[in-house]
Structure 1
Amino acid sequence: MGSEVGADLLVVELFAFLHDSQRINENEDRMHGDRAAEYAESLNHRYFDLPDSGLDKLVHSIRFHSYGKIHQCPTIQTCWDADRLDLGRVGIKPSAKYLSPFGAKHIDAAYECSKLKRIND
């Protein structure tokens, strides 16, 4: 997805690993994005090397990924689309109003894949 919209793929990959890494409770943990954003900042220049602009995008995408917003930056929006397209893992079908137009095209396929992942667990 990210390569088709010109996203920074390293930021998207790091987001995938880190955005829920500090979640304490699957259902009620509103602050996990803030904790994960701080954690990501602490890892830069130790485990990966993002320039300031990349780190800013990573931290922003992690901190606000649960807020249901849309962003004009292709990198940040790709992170959020990827996370939202995986909502089937908790039984929720993603809504197009919380996705970019590109991400919205993939709702049905992503939902089916997420449901399969949940069934196989």
Structure 2
Amino acid sequence: MTIDMRGIARQIVQEYDLPLAGCHGIAHWARVYDNGQRLAEASGADKDVVALFALFHDSKRKNESFDPNHGKRGAEFAKQLRGELFELSNAQFALLVEACCGHTKCRHHENITIGTCWDSDRLDLGRVGMRPHPYYLNTDEAKREETINWADGRASMEVVPDWIAERWGIETTAFAWE
């Protein structure tokens, strides 16, 4: 079974409780995806886990501020869709669950895939006015000034990747950007 990114994205959008144009919405997920794939290329992280993290990590947020259990809820949602819209080995799935559950409360991780997931999210902090600091990043590629500048520029400018409709089947023109 392949990963049905379109199906997963549509299911998440259908059940998402917050505005899709909000700071934790679809443009954020897409930038995290781009960040993660760039980092995984350099780090050797599992690209499938990193891609799925981008979609699930904030998929079950209840608000745009303090929501300490949203990562765990996102991991639970991934469990519901596993076998229907995607398949991972048990080891890969365990990494996805740990990455989702720990992405806001944990700082560093020795596993390169989990560290890459967390870095992909942290590199998008510019969307809320915070510049990523190398101390809080895990991978060598994420810590590079060039990478931080690239990701932070996209986040600060609230770039909406133009591939969302093509790859995820979600038309971003359907909702207003805040």
TM-score, structure 1 length as denominator?
Answer: 0.92
Deviations 1:15-62 (A, max 9, x none): 001100000101121110111111111211111010100000000000
The residue identity in structure 2 corresponding to 1:102 is: E
More off after superposition, 66-75 vs 55-64: 66-75
Q: How far apart are the structure 1 equivalents of 2:73 and 2:154? A: 29
Deviations 1:50-105 (A, max 9, x none): 01000000000000000141111111111100000001111111121110232111
Any unmatched runs of 5+ in structure 2?
Answer: 1-38, 160-176
How many percent identity over aligned positions?
40
1:117 equivalenced with 2:155 (yes/no) = no
Q: How many residue pairs end up in the alignment?
A: 120
Superposed CA RMSD: 1.4
1:104 aligned to 139, 143, 163, which one? 143
| Residues 37-76 of structure 1: pairs in structure 2 closer than 5 A | 37-76=75-114
TM-score, structure 2 length as denominator?
Answer: 0.64
Any unmatched runs of 5+ in structure 1?
Answer: none
Q: How far apart are the structure 1 equivalents of 2:104 and 2:66? A: 12
Larger relative contact order (Cα-Cα within 8 Å, sequence gap ≥ 6): 2
**What residue number does 1:78 align with?**
116
Corresponding residue SS for 1:117:
coil
Q: How far apart are the structure 2 equivalents of 1:54 and 1:68? A: 19
**What residue number does 2:69 align with?**
31
Question: Conserved in 1, the CA contact under 8 Å of 2:42 and 2:141?
Answer: no
